[in-house]
Amino acid sequence: MWMSELAARSGLPVPTIKYYLREGLLHPGEAVGATRARYDDSHVRRLRLVRALTEIASLRLDDVRQVVAAIEDDDVSWHEAVGSAHTRITPVATGTADDAQDVRVDALLARHGWELDETSSHRAALAAALGSLDQLGHPVSEDTLDVYAGAAGQVAAHDVGAIAQGDRSEAVETAVVGTLLLEPVLLTLRRIAQENVSRRSRR
């Protein structure tokens, strides 16, 4: 397909696509003469991924570039490529935590047999969320953390199992989009469940 069709199918304007080509976020098409090139489905998929990473995951172009590099590098395993996107997603919670919260997070990870990459921002995010709750006078118990971690583990096992196993670009897109877009679904279901548990215990 020509550039105009690529624009129509990806929903992106031609200048944006040309910018992604210059920045190396999109691989070149097959040259046809000096100024024209043909594109195929792999370009549509890549633009879909770049859109998901920038528009849904709000990643900076620098981070998108590194995710794309991991996908293209055959020395990087499929799971590492997916992980390179996962670890770059903006953390849910921000703030600063004291050492006590870090210790609690490490203990929680140990109880559930979990480890985290050095580059993962999620350890600090969790410690910060616990710190905020402490400061607001609503400390979270270890019991609560364990119930939440258990539920999160079930959801995550399903999430990772549902990632498309084939094409790397598609797998990364599914993983990132699934992680982010299913968050409101999980939170809304929790509220619906709370209403129902509460209703049943009404006296």
Q: Between residue 40 and residue 69, which ones bind a second copy under the rule CB under 8 A?
A: 48, 56
List binders of a second copy among 94-123 (CB under 8 A). Answer: 109, 112-117, 120, 122-123
Tell me: does residue 87 bind a second copy (CB under 8 A). Answer: yes
Please identify, using beta-carbon distances, which residue of 107 and 157 lies nearer to a second copy.
Answer: 157
Binding mask 3-32 for a second copy (x = CB under 8 A): ------------------------------
What sign has the CA pseudo-torsion 171, 175, 176, 182? Answer: positive
Contacting residue, 145, 168, 169, 172, with a second copy by CB under 8 A? 145
Q: What are phi and psi of 38, to 5 degrees?
A: -105, 140
- Amino acid letter, 129: A
Tell me: does residue 198 bind a second copy (CB under 8 A). Answer: yes
Please identify, using beta-carbon distances, which residue of 7 and 86 lies nearer to a second copy.
Answer: 86
List binders of a second copy among 157-186 (CB under 8 A). Answer: 157-160, 162, 174, 177-179, 181-186
Contact 140, 133 (CB under 8 A): yes
Residue partners of 18: CB distance under 8 A and separation at least 6: 3
Q: Measured from the CB of residue 85, what is the shortest distance to a second copy in angstroms?
A: 11
Residue partners of 127: CB distance under 8 A and separation at least 6: 97, 101, 102, 104, 105
Please identify, using beta-carbon distances, which residue of 42 and 188 lies nearer to a second copy.
Answer: 188
Q: Which helix (H) or strand (E) holds 132?
A: helix 122-135
> What is the rounded distance in angstroms from the CA atom of residue 2 to the CA atom of residue 157?
41
Tell me: does residue 142 bind a second copy (CB under 8 A). Answer: no
